[in-house]
Amino acid sequence: MLSLETITNNINNWLNNHVSSTWATIIEMLIVGLLVIGLFAMLGLILVLMERKVSAFMQIRVGPNRVGFKGSLQTLADTLKLVLKEGLTPKGADKFLFNLAPYVVMCAAMLILAPIAFAKNFQIWDINIGVLYISAISSISVIGILMAGWASNNKYSLLGAMRSGAQIVSYELSAGFSVLCIVILTGSLQISDIINAQQNGWFIFKGHIPAIISFIIFIIAVTAETNRAPFDLAEAESELTAGFHTEYSGMKFALFFLAEYVNIFVVCAIGAILFFGGWMPLHIGNWQGFNQVMDYIPSSLWFILKVFGLIFLIMWFRWTFPRLRVDQLLNLEWKYLLPLSLVNLLLMTVVAIMGWHF
């Protein structure tokens, strides 16, 4: 059967038979790089269109429907417009940092893709501390955002960057704790181990109530970390124009925009891996017949379906909840989510020690 695993294995064998192993590694790196960039472009096109269509659906509108079939080429047209626009650098801005910031944000988003398993045995780097790696790299994007805000030499940008930084740093705690709950169940930080541990049921079902609580905390925290409504204070239009990317135009703005959507994809992929088994099909305990029927659906399709389900959930939040105030935002994290996740971590430890999960 044709799967991503056999394709990668065949390419690897062919390269190793035809060129030396060093060159094979270098060529494979290039292929992976091209694939990542291609994935980014595809994600940008699909997710922006999806956002507009979902928002239209929520508000009982039609949404973009002029360019292409039912508006399917709308984002391509928008990208073309952005490419043609002039990339302005404001006077008095720190030119080097101003131009560097979008690339730092993009690089951070790209690096997180390394340990994510897109299908069975289809993963760039199965590092033995995958979950920790993800949380480390996601904290790097804060630096890019702060750089952009400061280098713009604009008060709106600086305030937006500050808010965004404070938000990401504080909500990282809750996100980390909810990830830790799953690590306790698995006993490993490696992504492939976490997925294989969900062979007989996804963690959201296996971990009982603590897993469900940690999933809810995780989804709230990542919505805040990606700076999306109801937590989009960093770019609150009515207060700050556009937040940290007020001064950016043309392709540099497009990079920030793209990084936001790629970050949504990445956090949803992590959520799918941790709580819904990544590429693992829906298995129920030892029901052999049912499990085998589910195995006929390819693993990559499972992964994509789960991730886009979670993305839909996050978009649903955006178009139904009003924006929080800064004090409400920080209260939610430090007064409610953090104590709750600490208690939840203890609960999960008890569940894991007593062996109540099946």
Partner 1 sequence: MAITEIIFWFLSALAVISAIMVVLSKSPVHSVLWLIAVFFAISGHYVLLNAQFIAIVNIIVYAGAIMVLFLFVLMLMNLNKETEPQKNLWMKLTGVVSGGCLLIILISLVRQATEIKGKIAVTKTGDIGLIKVLGKELFSSYVVPFEISSVLFLSAMIGAVVIGKKD
Q: Which residues bind partner 1 (CB under 8 A)?
A: 22, 94, 97, 127-129, 132-133, 135-137, 139-140, 142-143, 146-147, 149-150, 158, 161-162, 165-166, 169, 173, 189, 330-331, 334-335, 338-339
Nearer to partner 1, 67 or 100 (CB): 100
Smallest separation (angstroms) from partner 1 to the CB of 97: 7
Smallest distance, partner 1 to C-beta of residue 323, A: 21
Rounded to the nearest whole angstrom, what is the least distance from the CB of residue 265 to partner 1 in the complex?
21
What is the nearest approach in angstroms of partner 1 to the Cβ of residue 306?
26
The residue among 239 and 295 lying less far from partner 1, judged by its C-beta, is 239
Nearer to partner 1, 52 or 245 (CB): 245
Q: Rank residues 143 and 212 by Cβ distance to partner 1 and give the closer one.
A: 143
CB nearer to partner 1: pick between 190 and 200: 190
- 3-state SS of the chain? CCCHHHHHHHHHHHHHHHCCHHHHHHHHHHHHHHHHHHHHHHHHHHHHHHHHHHHHHHCCCCCCCCCCHHHCCHHHHHHHHHHHCCCCCCCCCCHHHHHHHHHHHHHHHHHHCCCCEEECCEECCCCCCHHHHHHHHHCHHHHHHHHHHHHCCCHHHHHHHHHHHHHHHHHHHHHHHHHHHHHHHHCCCCHHHHHHCCCCCCHHHHCHHHHHHHHHHHHHHHHHHCCCCCCHHHHCHHHHCCHHHCCCCHHHHHHHHHHHHHHHHHHHHHHHHHHHCCCCCCCCCCCHHHHHHHHCCCHHHHHHHHHHHHHHHHHHHHHHCCCCCHHHHHHHHHHHHHHHHHHHHHHHHHHHHHCCCC
CB of 122 vs partner 1, minimal distance in Å: 21
CB of 182 to partner 1, least distance (A): 16
Q: Which residue, 127 or 216, is less far from partner 1 as judged by CB?
A: 127
